[in-house]
Chains A and B, each alone.
Chain A
Amino acid sequence: MTTSVIGQLGASNDEVERGILPAHWFSSEELFAIEREKVFGRGWMFVGHLSEIAAPGDFQLRKLAGESVIFVHGHDDRHRVLVNSCRHRGGMICRSDKGNAEHFECPWHAWTYSNDGALVGVPGAVGYSADFDKSDHGLLEVRSEQHAGFVFATFDNDAQPLHDELSGMDWYLDLAARRSERGLKVVGSPTVWTIPANWKFAADNFVGDTGHFASVHGCSLELGLYPFVELDYFANIQVGDGHGLFFNGIRYPKPGRSFLELRGYPVELVDSLHRNLSEGQVEFLDRSIAYGATIFPNTSFFDPVFADLDGLFPAGFCSFFSIRVWQPVSATQTEVWSWLLVEGEFDEQQSASIYNSYMRTFGASGMLEGDDVAAWEGGTRTAGGLGNRNIPRLLIQGHDLPVDTEMPGPGTAYASPNPFACGENSQRGFYKRWYSEMSR
């Protein structure tokens, strides 16, 4: 352990366990520089979905912890994440948001790469020494692995396999990733916007901040955007290794109360869901009006039910699945990348209305997302103040809550009928993982 970093972190193991966090974690550019290496240099981060690069040659320009990378389907049918940097002088070889290409040519000196990353053309080859070998200078491939079409990448070649990192979380990602036999498909492109907040507020919001909903999103209840039903079960679920979920819903069973119906799934999708998900997974979906998750460090996803203002779905509501990445820009700025995916069992019109339901609640113009950002911005603005050096941030709720045994999925759930009182356990877990990465 590097003792100087521990000193900079300004909190003991015990304080982090208890959930007493220093304010400067959310404002310090010095800590941000360390995060860059120790958190983003090691973590698995979502890059894209295979449906976005369906045909050979398809590519999307993406960012991995802020670094420009090419997410590409090679001519050899392999999918790769390639650093967008020419091996000659670091020229940016791809400047298009997306496209289809057999080759990428650097504008600087015309070094040319095949879409599998191999260097195939160097106009000045004759000027190099005999030992110059093109095969030594292909585009750098970033280690990437996928789970059910969701591709993650890491800069750390020694990181545990994605499968092991996701252990526990795969059950929850599969609720969406495996329910459709026709498969999930990204609608359009991810939207990208920059919020004036520390990335960790966003990540910990989805890892288990069940308590913020009624207060931050109170106006959405008034607007009828959220189905008005009696919810009596609010939980945070700590999955381990910094991963976790928030959950809004009901205890089970509840006669006459099925949230699965509110999702507006066509019969074909309902049948597929029952075939491909476990009983426990079906129960989880049926009990929840909104659940969401964070995969440490900065990938979140959620699968809520919200109003359909197009009036297409009979219940007046539908559900949508969004995955997002909180790209670090600075200690006080985060670039959000947000995707919306829809199951192939929906027709075009339904897919458009599902997109609308998502876009009107979340995304840059979302009637809920903006309010989240307003809260996170506030927390970021106060964090660097001289007085705030003496005001620790408290994630101390839930130490004495009993473990709830009624949740069918992996991890440890803490629940309450009071949405403000179901504990901050998985948020503590997130910062415990963060602290452990920062200090090793």
Chain B
Amino acid sequence: MDQSMYFTAVEFLGLEADLLDDRRYGEWLQLLAPEIEYLVPVRRSLEGSLEDEFDDDSAWIRENYRSLEARVRRMSLPNAWTEQPRPLTRHFVSNVRVAAGGAEDTISVGSNLLLRRQVASGSEMFSGKRLDRWRRDVGTWRLVRREVRLDHTAVEARNLSIIF
């Protein structure tokens, strides 16, 4: 694996985390490919199974570009009450692993995510693994697919009005 690819991935993920934590969602949208698939599947706990088990048909979050635009637009509206006052998030991204993506000009990037959110009335912590596919574009990379596998079945959070 090309070492420079690893550094590019780490830098890109760091930039993305900063954009999200600074609530620069418009700029974050620009990192996405128009064909973006963004998925946070629902995890199930099954006895006797050592595999990751997820529902095929339900999802916590399952978005395309247009629906992400709507979510992002909402988060800046003064009457989106989940965002008033603005929650403080901190994305801790680690365990970055990069591999060739299969198709030309794409790479697969895995990362661990610890995300803490502080709201006026309390805080929440989320943990999960992110499986990304990025495509090279002129002078930059675009996120084509992200799957966020949360380490939760039931979620102990007042809402998932959040971008992992």
Contacts and interface: CB of A to CB of B under 8 A. Distances in A.
Interface in A375-406: 375, 377, 381
Interface residues of A, number: 46
A189 B11 CA distance: 37
Contacts of A95: 45, 47
B5 interface: no
Nearest to B62: A356
A381 B119 CA distance: 14
Given A96-B48, A223-B70, A189 B158 contact: no
Given A364-B155, A364-B157, A364-B160, A375 B45 contact: no
A99 interface: yes
B118 interface: no
Contacts of A195: 158-159
Interface string B106-143: 00000000000000011000000000000000000000
Given A97-B153, A309-B70, A365-B160, A191 B45 contact: no
Contacts of A188: 42, 55-59
A98 B61 CA distance: 22
B74 interface: yes
A103 B21 CA distance: 49
A112 to B, nearest CB: 15
Interface in B71-88: 71, 73-74, 77, 79-82, 84
B107 to A, nearest CB: 27
B42 A191 contact: yes
A355 interface: yes
B154 A377 contact: no
A284 to B, nearest CB: 28
B71 to A, nearest CB: 7
B47 A216 contact: no
B49 to A, nearest CB: 8
B66 interface: yes
Given A192-B154, A193-B155, A364-B157, A374 B82 contact: yes
Nearest to A191: B42
A120 interface: no
A238 B56 CA distance: 39
Nearest to B63: A360
A228 to B, nearest CB: 15
Contacts of A314: none
A278 interface: no
B70 A360 contact: yes
A367 B161 contact: yes
A219 B161 CA distance: 14
B94 interface: no
A219 B77 CA distance: 7
Contact of A191 (B46, B58, B71): B58
B57 A98 contact: no
Contact of B64 (A309, A359, A363, A371): A309
B156 interface: yes
A373 B58 contact: no
B24 to A, nearest CB: 20
A52 B73 CA distance: 36
Contact of B67 (A216, A340, A360, A373): A360
A369 B63 CA distance: 17
Contact of A222 (B55, B71, B77, B121): B77
Contacts of B56: 188
B44 interface: yes
Interface in A71-98: 94-98
B92 interface: no
Given A95-B45, A96-B47, A191-B58, A196 B121 contact: yes
B60 interface: yes
A193 B156 contact: yes
Contacts of A218: 79
Contacts of B59: 188, 355, 359
| Nearest 5 Cβ contacts at the A-B interface | A188-B58, A370-B159, A96-B47, A365-B160, A188-B57
11 contacts: A189-B58, A193-B156, A219-B80, A309-B64, A310-B64, A335-B154, A356-B62, A359-B62, A366-B159, A367-B161, A373-B82
